[in-house]
Amino acid sequence: MPDVLSSSEYTSTGLSEELTDLAAMVRDFADTVVAPAAVTHDAAHTFPYEVVAQMGELGLFGLPVPEEYGGMGGDHLALCVAIEELARVDQSIAITLEAGVSLGISPLLHYGTDEQKSAWVPDLAAGRALAGFGLTEPEAGSDASGTRTTARLEDGTWVINGNKEFITNSGTDITRLVTVTAVTGTQEDRHGRERKEISTLLVPVPTEGFRAEKAYDKVGWNSSDTHPLTLTDVRVPEKNLLGERGRGYANFVHTLDEGRIAIAALGTGAAQGCLDAAVRYAKERRAFGSAIGQHQAIAFKIARMQVRVHTARLAWRDAAARMVAGKPFKTQASIAKIVAGEAAMDNARDATQIFGGYGFINEFVVARHYRDSKILEIGEGTTEVQQMLIARSLGLE
């Protein structure tokens, strides 16, 4: 692990020496450890505990975490560099890291009290524990007004009731915390209209009344842990309020903005993985007397794949650089997520076509990317939501 994880030397053409070393280290780990395990865990739909433990030992979960809480003292760009390298070979392990940090650790770092940070962050940063974030519900996600989970304060205790959907890292053997949004009352908006007061609460796992239901049978991300959650009279102390009461959804929107950069890095890694596989196969596979890469139809298809990777990488790095520099990045994060998600999906489709019949066999990485990549246009804000945010930034309400 590099001694310094800082993006201060970042330029539009590359990374600092420290981040370049980090990328090389994670790339080697991905190729030698993650890739072989991915085939087995994807086929069995099992969670890769042994890989997660090694990621913890490498310090990947603690990349953007201050050293005082057991982290590496880096920033969001360092995290995204690692996520991109992992996603080349396995999107499931990449999203486990992304969600574990962006949705698990980051809300604590941004809005937690010193006591909350000290209690939870060290184990999360070490990969000994995982945390999830319960926002989405059967009738709510991007639309906060649809939130139906409730929390009422009784004698210094929050009593929580409701359901959550599609919650990553919520049902593993090492899940120790799920942060949930809940309606804690009502308040007036700026126009004097009454609306739901949404707050964020920390729910330790296990807690009586909290249940991770049967894991989803998903199209892709088969070794990523994802569950619906049921909360029935879950009781947590009043001090488990995360951040200011009534600011839960607003705070999580900021968390999502950061997470979209990480998802864009993941999409870029997936697109790169498809490109790498296609180039290797096009040089090895022969048809009509020559390697198929010598045929213009294949060569041009691969060239277009490289264009997508390059563009997606520039987009997420630009958004990340703005973020760590303290500059506005919301619009750039949405742009990056759209570009990278589409790059991953388009490259997966093209790589599968280049592989022909082998591209339809699950043991090949391009087949897994084909199944995995669609969610990148849906999760952490659909493409349509990103378009809405970009249009809004242009003054088009």
Burial bucket for residue 290 (CB in 10 Å: 0-12, 13-18, 19+):
exposed
Q: Which of 179-188, 207-216, 261-270 has the lowest mean pLDDT?
A: 179-188
pLDDT higher than threshold 70 for residue 365 = yes
Q: HEC profile for the chain?
A: CCCCCCCCCCECCECCHHHHHHHHHHHHHHHHHHHHHHHHHHHHCCCCHHHHHHHHHHCCCCCCCCHHHCCCCCCHHHHHHHHHHHHCCCHHHHHHHHHHHHHHHHHHHHHCCHHHHHHHHHHHHCCCCEEEEECCECCECCCHHHCCCEEEEECCEEEEEEEEEEEECCCCCCEEEEEEEEEEEEEECCCCCEEEEEEEEEEECCCCCEEECCCCCCCCCCCCCEEEEEEEEEEEEHHHECCCCCCHHHHHHHHHHHHHHHHHHHHHHHHHHHHHHHHHHHHHCEECCEEHHHCHHHHHHHHHHHHHHHHHHHHHHHHHHHHHCCCCCHHHHHHHHHHHHHHHHHHHHHHHHHHHHHHHCCCCHHHHHHHHHHHHHCCCCCHHHHHHHHHHHCCCC
Average pLDDT of 275-293?
96
CATH number at 17-128:
1.10.540.10
380 included as an active-site residue: yes
**Token pair listed for 363:** 């043991």
pLDDT higher than threshold 60 for residue 12 = no
In order of 13, 266, 298, 319, 379, the CA distances from 142 in angstroms are 34, 21, 40, 21, 11
pLDDT band at 1 (very low <50, low <70, confident <90, very high): low
pLDDT higher than threshold 70 for residue 390 = yes
pLDDT at 140: 83
Angle among Cα 14, 375, 300 to the nearest 5 degrees reads: 55
Residue located via tokens 């500059």? 327
- Give the domain ranges of the chain: 17-128, 131-245, 250-393
CB-based contact 365:273 (threshold 8 Å): yes
**From its phi and psi, is residue 230 left (phi > 0), alpha (psi between -120 and 50) or beta?**
beta
Average pLDDT of 259-280?
98
Any idea which fold 131-245 has?
Butyryl-CoA Dehydrogenase, subunit A; domain 2 (2.40.110)
CATH number at 250-393:
1.20.140.10
pLDDT higher than threshold 70 for residue 364 = yes
pLDDT band at 88 (very low <50, low <70, confident <90, very high): very high
Average pLDDT of 48-53?
98
284, 342, 380, 397: which is the annotated catalytic residue? 380
Average pLDDT of 213-217?
97
131-245 and 250-393: identical CATH topology:
no
Average pLDDT of 175-187?
95
pLDDT band at 227 (very low <50, low <70, confident <90, very high): very high
In order of 30, 74, 219, 281, 338, the CA distances from 319 in angstroms are 25, 17, 29, 33, 12
Q: What percent of the chain has pLDDT over 90?
A: 88
Residues 137-156: tens digit of each pLDDT: 988 877 777 899 999 999 99
Average pLDDT of 167-173?
97
